[in-house]
Chains A and B, each alone.
Chain A
Amino acid sequence: MKLTGAEIIWECLQKEGVDVVFGYPGGAILPTYDAMTKYPKIHHVLVRHEQGATHMADGYARASGKVGVAIATSGPGATNMVTGIATAMMDSSPIVCITGQVGSKAIGTDAFQETDVTGVTLPITKHNYLVTKPGDIARAIREAFYIAKSGRPGPVLVDITKDAQQMTAEFDWEAAAPRLPGYRPSYHAPASEFARAAELINSAKRPLILAGQGILKSGTTAEVLKLAKSAGIPITTTLLGIGAIPASSEFNLGMMGMHGEAWVNQAIQQADLLIALGMRFDDRVTGNLKTYALNAKKIHVDIDPTEINKNVPVDVALIGDLREVLELIQPQVKKAEHAEWWATINASRGDAAVRDIQSLPDSGHLYAAHVINDLWRLTQKRDTIVVTDVGQHQMWEAQYFRHEKPRSLITSGGLGTMGFALPAAIGAKFACPDKDVWVVVGDGGFQMTSCELATCEQEGIKVNVAIINNSFLGMVRQWQEFFYDKRYAATPMTGPDFVKLAEAYRLKGLRCNKRSDVKSTVAQTLAAKETVVIDFVVEKEDTVFPMVPAGADLDKMIRRPKQDVMLESGSDKDWEMPSSPLPNVFAEAKAEATVLNGRGKAAKSAKKPARKAAKPARR
């Protein structure tokens, strides 16, 4: 069958089972858009910015486990995709990006809207293609899908010249089967390694499972829980591993790392065996590598050999798909309880009282953590996907929204891309139209991609946007608070009237600035048919606790003051600090703790002298 290159693109997408693509037209991709009208089975979502298209494809992929597809024109269209591609690469999200390229004869001439897109995206794609002949399109697209979803998933870009889209070629799907002699999506660890791993597990006294996104990718929630239950091993998750283990499971201790639970990080430092399942020891997870889990032997299960010994040297590496590895290791694992180890962990878990924000009196202020925790309480009976942006609200979501199901949290972890949430949520909604999709986003990040509200309106889809509006680039402000002597350079931020903004897009806007209104606001939002934007006006200078400063030892966390800062009235209780000698940053933070405890409007005047007093301590 002879078809144009453009038709071949759509034929291939159809054969790959694609039902929706996210894109934006332009000159070099026009032939493909023109041919689109012949393929009504594939729904095209017109985005407002190509970055949005890539995040939507990413959100679609993360929510469904299928490959997401984004389309853009050459030059600026393609370069606008860069952030979204890098985001997908860091978090191993399977997306295929199709970009138009100038005519093959014009390549290299600095033709209008010519950019070397395969060059630009080379280090941020799993693989990419430049296709200049219509006869090569089918193979490139088939290989792109196969590479994107197999092994450790990731983004693949196919750049197709305009003439290749226009000219015709024989379309033969079978003949275009992937031919990838050098591609190794998976490995199988030798039996001897399994024996060594089992021996370590069976002889451990204080084992701990580090659960990562690999569990979601391989769909092994049940298998990991089985391992934990049979050998009495507590589990902690990474940010991207949230949802892989139900929050309500007694085995789930919570999140590890920079903003993880204090008892989890302590447990990591005390453990004698870490079993890392599909996680990659990110620096936000390990803190100072020199002091990371020195008491523990390490077993690392990962599908990607380059992750082994990259950050943390391991004792046993089981390279392969997590499902296969767990199936092979389970029969070799002996029953155990580890009662003593659990007792140790549970003792430090006593902190939980401090962490439970629900036990704090309502001071009249609205706090982000309250909003998020309430949101969880009010939606927990519904099937909900939360998509978060990047910043303080992202961490509070991770701490206070209890995720029970895999793929119920979608967030940009590795790249930390502000502006990710709204477009990714649109993608997630297309993947799971029957679920509620909530966006939890900061006032800063929302303003980066808020244009996609128009996409929601045009598509008639409903996502629920909770803006945690603190009038600050809050996470950066927090770093300035701790490490830059509270010099708030370029972090106070204004924004539009978000309610009116929503209305301008013919959507619903709501504002909430009282704790007592959260419930009715959420109810109104769920009742509305259209996309709703809620402006949650929260406390401006609130802080995410606990926190391991970047590069500090994992168990030396800046802790939430005993009397929570959320109280309006000041407290003279000191911060809970690690007992070991403090690096300077802690001394400074400590000196400021008293002031922080009295934060809020009334405390403003007290800040200045305290800051001065803190300075000598620093030098």
Chain B
Amino acid sequence: MAKHTLIAYVEDVPGVLNRIASLFRRRNFNIDSLTVGRTEQPGVSRLTVVVEATEAGARIVEANLYKLVNVLRVDDLTHKPSLFRELGLVKVKVTAQTRSQVLELTEVFRARVVDVDEATLVIEVTGTPEKIGKFEMVMRPYGIVEIVRTGAVAMARGHELMSAAPPLVPTAPVADHHHDSGLSMSV
């Protein structure tokens, strides 16, 4: 089992998130995180799903996503050169004694302070999910009051249009579709 990061492009229609969430629950797939947002194509939303799965399991997740009528394309970025980013907001307790230590660590993580009062600091940290996990760990001894994480988003590196959103082209009823990544599922 390992973490797999899948990008799914979906038609931006009511209920589509529900369909995805329902699929994961129904098929007993383990979601680590799921984020949604708009894309450069009108009417197309982009989901980043991180799942805990074996390699074969990830292929099954992918095939099941494709089976949803509103899903336009699925890319697995796990083994492609890609950028993974997450944002976290961490509210940490500080005292006169610890404040400078916390600020120092914030610096080390290239995070930034976005709110200050007499007893707490709110720190914004971006990076890979692992980095945010690390940051959380080092802040814990000072006392974390609250933490929020967005879940990971991902994008393929480079100029090839690896993970760009597909346009919403209506397809003629009888036309069949080629789908390159799912075709050879033999082992």
Contacts and interface: CB of A to CB of B under 8 A. Distances in A.
A219 interface: no
Given A182-B11, A306-B60, A190 B66 contact: no
B187 A309 contact: yes
A317 B186 contact: yes
Given A146-B173, A181-B168, A305-B63, A187 B183 contact: yes
B176 interface: yes
B22 A122 contact: yes
Contacts, number: 98
Interface in B135-187: 166, 168-171, 173, 176-179, 182-187
B18 interface: yes
Nearest to B21: A122
Contacts of A184: 66, 176-177, 179
Contacts of A310: 60
A185 B174 CA distance: 9
Contacts of B14: 130
A197 to B, nearest CB: 9
A130 B15 contact: yes
B67 A304 contact: yes
Contact of A181 (B11, B22, B63, B182): B11
A151 B12 CA distance: 24
Interface string A179-207: 11111111111101100100000000000
Contacts of A189: 183-184
A186 B66 CA distance: 12
B171 A181 contact: yes
Nearest to A302: B185
9 contacts: A123-B22, A147-B69, A177-B173, A180-B170, A180-B171, A181-B166, A186-B176, A186-B177, A189-B183
B184 A181 contact: no
Contacts of A313: 56, 187
Contacts of B69: 126-127, 147, 180, 182-183
Given A130-B14, A182-B11, A309-B60, 12 more contacts: A123-B22, A126-B69, A146-B173, A150-B173, A178-B173, A181-B170, A183-B171, A305-B182, A306-B67, A308-B63, A315-B186, A319-B183
Given A177-B173, A313-B56, A182 B185 contact: no
Contacts of A180: 69, 170-171, 173
Contacts of B71: 182
Contacts of A492: none
Nearest to A307: B63
A428 interface: no
Interface of A: 118-119, 122-123, 126-127, 130, 146-147, 150, 177-190, 192-193, 196, 304-306, 308-310, 313-317, 319
Interface residues of B, number: 37
A304 B56 CA distance: 16
B72 interface: yes
B170 A179 contact: yes
A596 B166 CA distance: 65
A187 B185 CA distance: 12
A537 B166 CA distance: 63
Contacts of B170: 178-181
Contacts of A177: 173
Given A183-B171, A184-B179, A187-B177, A305 B68 contact: no
Given A186-B176, A186-B177, A193 B186 contact: yes
B59 A309 contact: yes
B173 to A, nearest CB: 5
A313 B185 CA distance: 10
Contact of A182 (B59, B63, B72, B178): B72
Interface string B64-95: 10111111110000000000000000000000
A534 to B, nearest CB: 41
Nearest to B10: A182
A445 to B, nearest CB: 27
A319 B177 CA distance: 12
B167 to A, nearest CB: 8
A180 B69 CA distance: 7
A325 to B, nearest CB: 13
Contacts of B173: 146, 150, 177-178, 180
A280 to B, nearest CB: 13
B67 A314 contact: no
